Amino acid sequence: MHPLLHPQPSNETHPVSDFNPESTSAGLSAFEQEVRRIAAAPERFAHPRRPFTARGSFVERCTGCRLPTQSCICTYRTPVDAGVEFWVLMHIEEVNKPTNTARLIGDTLPSTRVFAWQRTQPPQALLEALQDPRYYPLIIFPDDQADYQHRVTSWPQVEAKLEGRIPVFLLLDGTWRQARKMFRQSAYLQDLPVLPVHSERTTRYQLRKPASEQHLCTAEVGIALLEMAAQTEAAQVLEQYFTVFNEGYGAARRQASADLNQAQAWLLAYQAQQAQA
């Protein structure tokens, strides 16, 4: 039995004003541990980052998933294997936000890596990873501007060129404005092929107001990419986990829905089945 399949939900909570990002690293995904390491080292970054003080900053939060205690999703974290990897280039202003959904990808696919983005300091670890011959990195971005059309590719074209390399989906994680800035201002991204996500889905994300229904949150982009790459099982697990997160967090603000109970039951059944295999 994989120990991560049965994470112990933490009952320990404290107000976010006392939140020590490094206090409880045991049992967290490698992704989440790295996000907390970034958040705990403000001297490495040019901008002083504000602590999380938006709506809900005084509620009791789980130290594992950072959600309000009654919406804790730690029990539902379900790691799966996939034949693709995600690397997340996270805008520095995202690291303290409990509404960030890239961490759902990190929880579900343990190989997921995260790098902090800031304009003046390229992330050294990412520069090295981009040179690693085992990987075929693709930057996930819309194909709607004329000046980089020569870089735009499609999944069938990628598959034909892999030659045994692992496809990597590099996600620009921030607001739409920030993502555009990251795409334009990062010289080390200028040679990467651009893979757009053309998905039929409209966003279900409730925790931030999207500019349009076609603007998917980061976890939803992840689900669409896993579907595109025919990683069906990983796509299903991430989809259910996103539902638990989205509906559960939303339930703190309104009535819990049937969707939530269904997704919770799905993940627990899946974990039980994996434990028997």
- Per CB under 5 A, does 62 bind Zn ion? yes
- Per CB under 5 A, does 59 bind Zn ion? no
- Per CB under 5 A, does 7 bind Zn ion? no
- Per CB under 5 A, does 16 bind Zn ion? no
- Per CB under 5 A, does 64 bind Zn ion? yes
The distance of closest approach from Cβ of residue 237 to Zn ion in the complex, given in angstroms and rounded to an integer, is 17
- Per CB under 5 A, does 114 bind Zn ion? no
Nearest residue to the partner Zn ion, using Cβ:
62
Q: Which of 28, 38, 39, 65 binds Zn ion (CB under 5 A)?
A: 65
Q: Which is nearer to Zn ion, 59 or 74 (CB)?
A: 74
- Per CB under 5 A, does 5 bind Zn ion? no
The distance of closest approach from Cβ of residue 254 to Zn ion in the complex, given in angstroms and rounded to an integer, is 20
Question: Per residue, what are the HEC states of 173-186?
Answer: ECCHHHHHHHHHHC
The distance of closest approach from Cβ of residue 155 to Zn ion in the complex, given in angstroms and rounded to an integer, is 34
For 260-275, give the DSSP string. HHHHHHHHHHHHHHHH
Q: Which is nearer to Zn ion, 3 or 133 (CB)?
A: 3
| 41-79 per-residue burial string, b: 16 or more CB within 10 A, e: under 16 | eeeebeeeeeebeeebeebebbbbbbbbbebbbbbbbbb
What's the rounded Cα separation, in Å, for the pair 78 and 236? 11
- Per CB under 5 A, does 225 bind Zn ion? no
| Total number of residues that touch Zn ion (CB under 5 A) | 5
- Per CB under 5 A, does 267 bind Zn ion? no
| 205-244 per-residue burial string, b: 16 or more CB within 10 A, e: under 16 | bbbeeeeeeebbbbbbbbbbbbbbbebeebbbbbbbbbbb
For 257, the token pair is 């829905």
Binding site for Zn ion (CB under 5 A): 62, 64-65, 72, 74
